[in-house]
Structure 1
Amino acid sequence: MTKAEEELRLRLARTLAANGHLRTQPWWDAVESVPRHEFLRGGFFDRIDGDGPTAWTPIMPDTPLWLERCYEDESLVTQIAGTITPGDLRGEIMRAPTSSSTMPGLVVRMWEDLQVEDGHRVLEVGTGTGYSTALGCHRLGNDHVVSVEVDPGVSGRAGTALAQCGYRPHLVVGDGLAGYADYAPYDRVIATCGLVSLPYAWIQQTRPGGIILATLGGWMFSSELARLTVHKDGTASGPFLGGQISFMLARPQAPPPLGLLPNLDEGEERLAALGADVINDWDTRFVAQVAAPGAQRISLDRDGRTEHLLIDVTEGSWAALTESDGRWIVRQGGPARIWDDVETYVLLWREAGSPTLDKFEITVTPEEQRITWQKA
């Protein structure tokens, strides 16, 4: 370790502590000890902002300021379109990110919120670059960390970096949503991917009294970190922790393709009690997702006006909202009335005082996932 690397790690630890993410000495020691740059030897992608679609360009270790960037509190994209890594590209690419090194502040905050203790066995879902895994190994020991990654290439690169840094957790290539029963029961489960629904397998593989920490949301892309305690009756429940936390969705829970849009001139039309602009707000959009968990949100320009659409591909239901002279009109089709449900939930939430998301709770049973809120 060079003096520059040592200083960068110490600076990162101080930054995370000042921001309230790094709160205890064991995790301070981990941040100071684990070299994040070793998990980014393959480079990362920098976003290029412009008027058109988002473009990405590779930043490799021989790029000026690469090392310093590795120790900034920012997420760094490490894979594009499911297969493309920074070393594969010269120039720019306009495709969606599929893997990243999460910002250290969020990684450390989640490990702190997981409330691990010496001797705990942890299942980590989403190995990614391996940096978070290394922090867990430093805190708990190699034999107490099991990390599952769906992408063999991502897992392989993480395994190489972990070994080079002296960490040898149990790495598994597979569907993390199924957990990993071979090493169960776990004391803690931590997920570094976004979820629409919490897999019941995680509850089955966690001992009673154990904790599951995961980010839950929906296809309108409002999400929050939840900490659930597993109970003896096979259920789990707990609060959302707040902070507008988001991750890339687990690939099996990504939204389905929209396909051919419905005929938006059909359907039942009425004056809307709420306009589509209400779900521009993060908390309100989260409530809308509770009401319509299968809905996706898009906008399009048609006949000189903007239409805001909610579409549930699986159920075949849709709602289209347009604004005219300060009033919102909604047309709805399919077996369900999506916007009716959204309005009902949002208005009930407002009647309760519009509680922030840290006043929300989640309960998961073998049959359902239920999200409720307390009055503000």
Structure 2
Amino acid sequence: MSQEPDLADRVDHYGELTRSLLDSGALTTDWSEAFDAVPRAAFLPDLAWPHDMDTGTDRAVDRRTDPEDWERAVYANVPITTQWDDGKHSGSEPGRVPTSSASMPSVVTRMLADLAVFPDARVLEIGTGTGWNAGLLSARLGDRCVVTVEVDETVAVSARAALARLGLRPKVVCGDGGEGHPDEAPYDRVIVTAGVRQLPAAWLEQTRPGGLIVAPWGTHYSDEDALVRLTVADDGSASGPFLRPLEFMKLRAQRLDWRRFGNHVGEYPGDAAETETSVSLSDLGEDRRFLGPKFVLGLCVPDCAHVVNSGEDSSTVWFFDMTEGSRSWASVVFRTGARPATVHQSGPRKLWDEVSGALEWWRERGSPGLGSFGLTVLPDGTHRPWLAEPDHPVPSFAG
């Protein structure tokens, strides 16, 4: 039988989290009543895996064997994995790929503030997950105003049950979030709790003119996302700024399958052209997350994925063309304590030339931060990133 933590302990842990979020500004006072009424712990399973932000590791906490440890973990300001490997994982050890989670409370509350809801606003949520976010929305706006879509049936059933235990009954739909939910459209607000690489047209179509779409968006160049807040126009387009960096599990239909690059490189380096570069790993932002140019490089070099293979004496950065039918690739070998680095490029696209050109463009403009950029999405699905203003598009260095 599951042991329940002492009520006083629960209130203390939750109160500490609430005070911390209020003091930091992550939780705004207009959301505090809903936050008090809808505790995070009510949506988390007995066995879960909090993520240590400093070490990048996950550990198991189990309410059945150590309720106090579990209580501390679920009210800490950390993300918690609740499902691994699309539900195919078993046991208490972490799985291979996290596929459902409870986001950091500070991320949840800041995104809700960015949503700028108002009384009776109709909200579509993409990615129900544990159901906590939908619960907060329902407590603030009322059940009839909230529709949430979850692709995984097991996850959707669990979220619906957790919501019902608190007396909350938003509409929980099991389906492809990329299709939205047209039956209840139009919506005043759309909030997305999964990283996306292409905003589906359905989300724009189902949002009323003047409505907002808040979503973690990025490119396949890296896992880094940025929260974008788009305002939908009368013509069906949507445009708005990037607010801040963050990272979410990717929408299942938009995950990057690295197996697609299995035939890009045959005999290495083969007949690839060889050059040198004075650019360093640090210049590319590979030694830090969210603080370097990686997000911007993804904007300027479309349809390009990259990965770093680190060794004892050297690191190799690989670049792959994602264009259908293309096998263009590039590699840059950085040797510890030595310069220049060795570049190999193969195929019609000179991917390293594109990346280095984009890096130079960014530097020439004073290395603007993520908050200087924004995104416009046209009704036909075209995505146009921009710098400072929508009429200043970011250049594409694709050859």
What TM-score does the superposition give when structure 2 sets the normalisation length? 0.86
- Aligned-partner Cα distance in 2 for 1:75–1:304: 34
Give yes or no for the alignment of 1:70 onto 2:74.
Answer: yes
Deviation at 1:261, TM superposition (A): 4.9
Question: What corresponds to 2:285 in structure 1?
Answer: 279
Give yes or no for the alignment of 1:131 onto 2:132.
Answer: yes
- Aligned-partner Cα distance in 1 for 2:117–2:158: 26
Cα distance change of structure 1 residues 208 and 270 upon mapping to structure 2, 3 Å threshold: same
1:175-190 aligned at under 5 Å gives the runs 175-190=176-191
Cα distance change of structure 1 residues 82 and 58 upon mapping to structure 2, 3 Å threshold: farther
Listed one character per residue, the Cα deviations across residues 79-119 of structure 1 (whole Å, up to 9, x for unaligned) are: 1111157xx424x2441111111111110100001101011
Question: What corresponds to 1:105 in structure 2?
Answer: 106
Cα distance change of structure 1 residues 95 and 370 upon mapping to structure 2, 3 Å threshold: same
- Aligned-partner Cα distance in 2 for 1:168–1:302: 52
Question: What corresponds to 2:327 in structure 1?
Answer: 316
1:47-62 aligned at under 5 Å gives the runs 56-62=59-65
Q: Which amino acid aligns with 2:200?
A: P
Q: Which amino acid aligns with 2:367?
A: S
Contact 2:327 2:347 in 1 (8 A): yes
1:117-196 aligned at under 5 Å gives the runs 117-196=118-197
Question: What corresponds to 1:360 in structure 2?
Answer: 373
Deviation at 1:59, TM superposition (A): 2.6
Q: Which amino acid aligns with 2:383?
A: Q
C-alpha root-mean-square deviation of aligned residues, in Å? 2.5
Deviation at 1:166, TM superposition (A): 0.7
Q: Which runs of 5+ in 2 are unaligned?
A: 1-5, 390-399
Contact 1:321 1:328 in 2 (8 A): yes
1:241-260 aligned at under 5 Å gives the runs 241-242=243-244, 244-258=245-259, 259-260=262-263
Cα distance change of structure 1 residues 201 and 309 upon mapping to structure 2, 3 Å threshold: same
| SS in structure 2 at match of 1:187 | strand
Instruction: Choose 161-170 or 61-70, whichever is displaced more.
Output: 61-70
Deviation at 1:42, TM superposition (A): 3.5
Q: Which amino acid aligns with 1:78?
A: T
Cα distance change of structure 1 residues 141 and 94 upon mapping to structure 2, 3 Å threshold: closer
Contact 1:276 1:321 in 2 (8 A): no
Q: Which amino acid aligns with 2:255?
A: A
| SS in structure 2 at match of 1:331 | strand
Q: How many residues align?
A: 368
Deviation at 1:319, TM superposition (A): 1.1
Question: What corresponds to 2:14 in structure 1?
Answer: 9
What TM-score does the superposition give when structure 1 sets the normalisation length? 0.91
Deviation at 1:374, TM superposition (A): 2.7
Q: Which amino acid aligns with 1:57?
A: A
| SS in structure 2 at match of 1:82 | helix
Contact 2:310 2:316 in 1 (8 A): yes
Question: What corresponds to 1:343 in structure 2?
Answer: 356
Question: What corresponds to 2:274 in structure 1?
Answer: 269
Listed one character per residue, the Cα deviations across residues 332-374 of structure 1 (whole Å, up to 9, x for unaligned) are: 1123122222222221121111111111110000241011223
- Aligned-partner Cα distance in 2 for 1:288–1:321: 16
Question: What corresponds to 1:233 in structure 2?
Answer: 235
Q: Between the two proteins, what is the percent identity of the paired residues?
A: 36
Q: Which runs of 5+ in 1 are unaligned?
A: none
- Aligned-partner Cα distance in 2 for 1:307–1:132: 40
Contact 2:26 2:106 in 1 (8 A): yes
- Aligned-partner Cα distance in 1 for 2:120–2:359: 44
Deviation at 1:276, TM superposition (A): 4.2
Question: What corresponds to 1:374 in structure 2?
Answer: 388
Deviation at 1:3, TM superposition (A): 4.0
Deviation at 1:41, TM superposition (A): 3.2
Contact 2:48 2:62 in 1 (8 A): yes
Contact 1:55 1:95 in 2 (8 A): no
Listed one character per residue, the Cα deviations across residues 114-135 of structure 1 (whole Å, up to 9, x for unaligned) are: 1010110000000000111100
